[in-house]
Structure 1
Amino acid sequence: MDPVTLLIFTGAYAVAVLVPGPGVAAVVARALGGGFRGAVPMVLGILAGDLVYFAFAVFGLAAVANWFGPVFVVIRWAGAAYLLYIAWKFWTARPGAEHIRPRSERPWKTFLAGFSLTMGNPKTIVFYLGILPTVVPLGEMTALAFTELTAIVVVVLLVIGFGYAWLASRARDLFQSPRALGRLNKTAGVMMATAAGLVVWQH
């Protein structure tokens, strides 16, 4: 694909990822609650969801995505419910001198939370099934172009997602006292609950 199209796509996608939404709120909350490593599965789950929608758009499956709209509604509500569960775990956690993330939280569960969040995120749906076709000539897609665009999606989302997670984890490291960690837990819980609300109410 020509460099100009790739550059335009990179810019449009970077802006879409940078703009705060449910994904950013969830990643920041996870990093505040469990540090940078705790947020990594969330970022990877969001990336997996983005790649699914990217494939939908590239291979002409937008109609399929629209046809199975009710399925994505269920996914949206299930993802929001799980984010609320994580928010409750943060809010009720009793921080010690070690990590403040909920001990029962497993990486694969965090990954699935990020994936379901993306699959039910209206902003993601609009970008891939609405904006992407206006930026990239999907009718001229080749194997090389698909690889190039996929690489852009992976690199941009990981850089920005991990950037948000790193900044939030650095802020977390500034709080050392149990009282401060408790407040940080509650802040993470509120942000996770906010992410759940955005997933449900964004249209």
Structure 2
Amino acid sequence: MTVSATDLLLYAGAILILFLTPGPVWVALTARALSGGFSSAWPLAVGVVLGDILWPMLAIMGVAWIVSVFDGFMTVMRYVAAGMFLFMGVMLFRHAGATIGTDSRLTRPGRLAGFLAGVAVIVGNPKAVLFYMGVLPGFFDLTRITALDIAAILAISCTIPLMGNLLMALCVDRARQLLTSPAALKRVNIVAGVLLCLVGVAIPLI
């Protein structure tokens, strides 16, 4: 491998931050988990994996070809990558309270429908390949990477979002079960009541 563990770790951190940025996948995943539980949501998460592998691969191939034609392209792309992250950060601050739109086709019931919805929501976004073309050169020298390097990059690109999406689906499913179970709801209310009483007792003593 030509890429270092530090480079991969930094890239993994960037992918994690991007995953934590809400988008259509979050909306569709939450809607499916609320309507059909974890069993309805996990196929969507698996479908998203295809795009999370496809777009970085296309970006790597495209950048490698451009580099072979234009000298100095990698240097320019490093500044583009830095600028892209700065732009995304500023836009998140400016639109922090904006709502996220969704497509009702992404929440159709059924495992196959969920899988296809995951594929559609990620593959149907060609801007993703442009994002990766801007980001990957900021972390790796794409003129020197090997097949093993590419495998590691693709593994990070899909594994982190997959684990995050599955965890989110599981949490929403558990919350759904809690809210629909009278016994669980009663326990939560009892615990909450005890805590409120404790706070009420503690306030005069503070």
TM range (shorter): 0.5 to 0.7
Residues 6 and 108 (structure 1), Cα distance of their counterparts in 2 relative to 1, 3 Å cut: same
Report the Cα offset of residue 44 of structure 1: 0.8
Aligned residues: 145
Indicate conservation of the 8 Å contact 1:14/1:157, yes or no: yes
- Three-state SS of the structure 2 residue aligned to 1:174 is helix
Q: State yes or no: 1:18 paired with 2:43.
A: no
Q: Distance in 1 between matches of 2:137 and 2:23?
A: 22
Preserved contact between residue 58 and residue 141 of structure 1 (Cα < 8 Å)? no
Amino acid at match of 1:129: M
CA-CA distance at 1:132 after TM superposition = 2.2
**Which of 114, 121, 124 is 1:117 aligned to?**
121
1:24 CA displacement: 1.3
What 5-or-longer segments of structure 1 have no aligned partner?
A: 64-79, 90-104, 178-203
Change (3 A) 1:62 1:53: farther
Deviation at 1:49? Answer: 1.0
Match of 1:98 in 2: none
Partner of 1:51: 53
Aligned to 1:32: 34
Structure 2 spans left out of the alignment, 5+ residues = 66-100, 182-206
What does residue 164 of structure 1 align with? 168
Contact 2:7 2:139 in 1 (8 A): yes
Q: CA separation of 1:86/1:50 partners in 2, compared to 1, >3 Å: closer, same or farther?
A: closer
Output the TM-score relative to the length of structure 1.
Answer: 0.63
Residue 147 of structure 1 is matched in structure 2 by 151
Structure 2 residue identity aligned to 1:134: G
Q: Distance in 2 between matches of 1:167 and 1:122?
A: 30
Deviations 1:58-84, CA, capped at 9 Å, x for gaps: 212799xxxxxxxxxxxxxxxx99x32
1:40 aligned partner, one-letter code: W
Contact in 2 for aligned 1:57/1:133 (Cα 8 Å): no
Question: Does the 8 Å contact 1:62/1:129 carry over to 2?
Answer: no
Q: What is the aligned-residue RMSD (CA, Å)?
A: 2.7
Rg larger for: 2
- TM-score, length-scaled by structure 2: 0.62
Could you tell me whether the CA contact under 8 Å between 1:13 and 1:153 is conserved in 2? yes
Aligned to 2:104: 84
With 144-153 and 119-128 compared, the bigger mean Cα shift is at 119-128
Identity within the alignment, %: 35
